[in-house]
Each structure stands twice: as C-alpha cells, then as structure tokens.
C-alpha cells in the first residue's frame, strides 16, 4: 500500500447510554444484565459526602449484588493515587464489575483499577509512550458503569484514562479501546451540587471537546491505516461533527446559566446532555492543541488554588487548563479550516458582535464567555510567566497522540507562540 494513500475509513465507538432524571436508580438492574455478583463502587471523598455513591450502592445491593465502596479517589488523579485504588481493588477483590460515581477523576481511576485487575503488569507499563511503556491490554476488562457527577470530562464515553506522573511532573494517560466504559448512566440530579467554579471549568472542557473535535484534522487527510493500526482518535468525521454541533448549541445558553444558578435544572439537564454529546464526538474524532497544552499546565502547577475544588493541594483543573490556551490555539489553527472555526463561533454566540478579522471570531467568543463565567485571565493568572514557556512546550510535545489530530502541524516554536500569547488573554 502506498504511503501517500489517504484514509477512506473512519471508526465510531460509544458505550451504551442511559440518560435522564432517575437513571442512576436503575444501575442494579443494569448490572444483572452483565451477570455481576460483586461490584466495586469507585468515588472521591467530596462526592461520597453527597450520599449519592451510598445510595447507588444500596440500590445495587437491592438486586442481590455484593458491593464495596472505595472513596479514596484523588481529584486530578496521579500515578500514586491511582495505584492506591488498584491496590484496594486487588486486595479486596476479585470484582466482576466496577461502578464509577464522580467526575473524570473517579471514572479514570476506575478504568485504571479495572485494567490492572484484569491484566498483568503495573500502571506505567500502560501509560502512553514516551512517558510510559505504551503497552496494550492483552485481556478484556470487566464491565464498567460510569456515572458522571460533573458535566464536562466526557470520560464516561472515552477510551482514555488521564493521570499526573508525579516523578516526571507531567500529565499523561492510557489510551485503548478496552478502557471505554460499558454503560454511561447520566442522571442530571447528580450534577446539581457542582459549585460555580467547577461548573465553569468542566463546562469549558465540554466546549473544547466539541470545538477541538469539530476542527480536528479530517479523517480523510490521514494516511491509510491497516486494520490493526486503527486508533480511537481518527479525526473529524460526519458522525462526530453531528454530536459536536449539538453540544455547542446547548452550551451557548446553558453554560452561563448553570454557572449563574446551580439550581437551574433546565440548564443542568442541558449541560449533562451537552457533555454527553461532546464525549460521543471527541471520543472518536479526538482533540488537539488546547488539550495537549493542558497537560503540562496542570502537571507543572506551583501554588494555584481554584475556587470550588479541594484546597489542600495546588491544582489547575483540567477543563480550566484546556481553556487557557484555547483562544490562541484556535487563532493558530484557523487557516487550516476557516469555515469550521467560524461555524463553532456562530453556534456558541449567534448574536455576537464580530471583530473584523475572521481569525479572531472564535477567540473573541471564547474570551467573552470565559470572562462571564470566571475563568482566569490566561496562564499568567494561574502562576506561569514567559520564563516557564520552554518547560511547558517540552511537556506539550510529549502529547503526540493529541498533536497528531491538530488540523495544522505545530512546531515547538508555534507552541511557544501560542503559550506566550496566552499569558494574558484580556
């Protein structure tokens, strides 16, 4: 096969989905359909305090299924925190299914525990190269039911598990089709307790999932792959585009409304649906430069403490980290797909007063929204200066799985320019 032959095939995968108020009350029945007898519920202390994980575990037990709860998930997981969950699952198992109740941190931690109780080896064996060994799981995983309590990460739909590798001060992940949850249960009631800061940051994650997948390199521009070479992120395609567009339409009004009033159930339901749509899209098309930049921004944090998150340790929440370089990144990628960038801008803000330069339309919309919902003013506002740019670029360049999906190839100098432009946004 000629190396220059272009791809003609795109792939699509998604978990089974149950959406709507009351959906989480039916998980016990759902698990009986997978033949589960002993289940580990994975959550974090903050979500555990809402009583939802206990309520869900009790509902599961009502179907004669034995349940155990691990509530030690670390928000923005690390290799150390994930290992604790793996050790717990190995020490108290075996389990024949997992239920993750929480944000992306809980769902990703459950993916890791499932992976390493179903397969040999250790965590770093499976972390994406060049950070880890890039090993693929040899055996199938147990059923995983993902129950998101934040609207944003999309982890309930994806094949990716994200973590900080503390010794290297870098964020990386594990990516394989077998990590995708078996069932996503999206119950908007579970998201009402999200504080405004969490709603804003996770909402920007939804937005960037949709915008990046919609502007990603088209699947037809990749070199043709053999069947065994296919990866989950295959580039923008008609099916993923459909989900991204609908997600952006919902976000245009629901994101600011949910940040203003967390008890607005109509907005919360729309946010939950927007997050689901975006996850179904980007989980197949992929994301690109803003997400690649987000890994070192989160991984190299020094002393930033965001509103609404646990205050013990410094952190830049994932969705916030993604958004901080999005305006500059989309200005850089504009020439590769002008119509798509303009479409994203108009879906998000159809009545916006547009600047003269088309390349500035989407960045202007993003900055206006970020100011409305309280996102910090660029990477400078979370503790970085221009002197940190070289180190951040080094971290971004390790995210080749994401950069490969960018519609325009970004060199180290290009990434440096994007990050310098993002020190202050307004």
List, in order, residues 6 or more apart from 319 with CB less than 8 Å away: 152, 153, 201, 202, 203, 204, 205, 206, 208
- Of 128-132, 243-247, 259-263, which range is least confident? 128-132
Q: Any idea of the CA torsion for 252, 258, 260, 264, to the nearest 10 degrees?
A: 120
Distances (CA, A) of 37 to 64, 141, 144: 8, 16, 13
Contact 255, 375 (CB under 8 A): no
Q: How confident is the model at residue 138 (pLDDT cuts 50, 70, 90)?
A: very high
Which pLDDT tens digit goes with each residue over 203-231?
Answer: 999 999 999 999 999 999 999 999 988 88
What is the sign of the dihedral through the CA atoms of 128, 131, 135 and 137?
negative
Which range is least confidently modeled, 47-56, 85-94, 306-315?
306-315
pTM: 0.89
Comparison of pLDDT for 379 and 313, the residue scoring more: 379
Task: Verify cis geometry, omega within 30 degrees of 0, for the bond prior to 94.
Answer: yes
Residues 365-381: tens digit of each pLDDT: 999 999 999 999 999 99
Q: For residue 52, is pLDDT > 70?
A: yes
Q: Where are the beta strands (DSSP E) in 219-308?
A: none
Structure tokens at 169: 């001060």
- Between CA 83 and CA 86 the distance in angstroms is 5
Q: Which residue shows structure tokens 């916006």?
A: 352
| CA distance linking residue 38 with residue 97, whole number of Å | 7
Task: For residue 389, give the nearest of 406, 405, 413 by alpha carbon.
Answer: 413
Domains located in the chain, CATH noted: 21-185 (3.40.50.1970), 194-420 (1.20.1090.10)
Confidence of residue 170 (pLDDT cuts 50, 70, 90): confident
Predicted local distance difference test score (pLDDT) of residue 173:
87
SS (H, E, C) 329-359: HHHHHHHHCHHHHHHHHHHHCCCCCCCCCHH
Contact between 143 and 182 under an 8 Å Cβ cutoff? The reply is yes
Strands 66-70 and 97-102, sheet pairing: unpaired
- In angstroms, what CA-CA distances link 55 with 60, 217, 284, 375, 389? 9, 43, 33, 33, 46
Helix or strand run (H / E) with residue 41: strand 38-42
Residue 18's DSSP bridge partners are 185
CB 3 within 8 A of CB 218: no
Q: What is the CA radius of gyration of the chain?
A: 20
- Examine the pLDDT at 2 and tell me if it is beyond 60: no
For residue range 20-45, list pLDDT tens digits in order: 999 999 999 999 999 999 999 999 99
Q: Is 117 helix (H, G, I), strand (E, B) or coil?
A: helix
**Residue 1 in this model has a pLDDT that exceeds 70:** no
Rounded to whole angstroms, how far apart are CA atoms 319 and 398?
19
**With contact defined as beta carbons under 8 Å apart, do 378 and 423 qualify?**
yes
């Amino acid at each position: 096969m000629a190396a220059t032959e272009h791809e003609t095939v795109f792939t699509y995968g998604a978990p089974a989905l149950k959406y709507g108020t009351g959906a989480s009350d039916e998980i016990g029945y759902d698990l009986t359909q997978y033949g589960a007898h002993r289940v580990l519920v994975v959550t974090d202390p903050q979500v555990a305090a809402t009583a939802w994980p206990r309520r869900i575990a009790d509902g599961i037990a009502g179907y004669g299924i034995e349940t155990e709860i691990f509530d030690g998930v670390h928000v923005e997981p690390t290799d150390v925190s994930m290992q604790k969950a793996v050790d717990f699952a190995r020490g108290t198992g075996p389990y024949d299914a997992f239920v993750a109740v929480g944000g992306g941190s809980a769902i990703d931690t459950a993916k890791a525990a499932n992976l390493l109780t179903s397969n040999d080896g250790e965590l770093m064996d499976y972390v994406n190269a060049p950070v880890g060994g890039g090993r693929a799981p040899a055996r199938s995983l147990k059923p995983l039911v993902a129950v998101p309590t934040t609207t944003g990460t999309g982890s309930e739909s994806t094949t990716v598990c994200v973590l900080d590798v503390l010794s290297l001060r870098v964020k990386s992940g594990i990516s394989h089709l077998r990590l995708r949850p078996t069932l996503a249960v999206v119950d908007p009631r579970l998201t009402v307790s999200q504080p405004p800061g969490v709603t804003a940051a996770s909402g920007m994650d939804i937005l960037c999932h949709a915008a990046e997948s919609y502007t990603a390199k088209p699947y037809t521009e990749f070199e043709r792959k053999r069947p065994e070479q296919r990866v989950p992120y295959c580039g923008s395609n008609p099916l993923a585009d459909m989900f991204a567009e609908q997600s952006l339409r919902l976000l245009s009004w629901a994101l600011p409304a949910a940040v203003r009033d967390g008890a607005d159930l109509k907005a919360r339901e729309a946010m939950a649906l927007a997050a689901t749509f975006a996850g179904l899209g980007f989980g197949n098309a992929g994301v690109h430069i803003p997400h690649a930049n987000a890994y070192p921004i989160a991984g190299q944090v020094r002393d930033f403490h965001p509103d609404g998150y646990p205050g013990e340790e410094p952190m830049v929440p994932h969705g916030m980290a993604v958004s901080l370089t999005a305006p500059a990144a989309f200005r850089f990628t504009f020439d590769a797909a002008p119509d798509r960038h303009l479409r994203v801008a108009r879906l998000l803000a159809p009545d916006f007063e547009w600047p003269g330069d088309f390349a500035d339309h989407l960045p202007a919309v993003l900055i206006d929204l970020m100011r409305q919902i309280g996102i910090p003013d660029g990477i400078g506002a979370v503790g970085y200066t221009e002197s940190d740019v070289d180190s951040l670029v080094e971290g971004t360049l390790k995210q080749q799985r994401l950069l490969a999906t960018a519609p325009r190839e970004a060199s180290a100098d290009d990434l440096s320019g994007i990050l310098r432009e993002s020190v202050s946004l307004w």
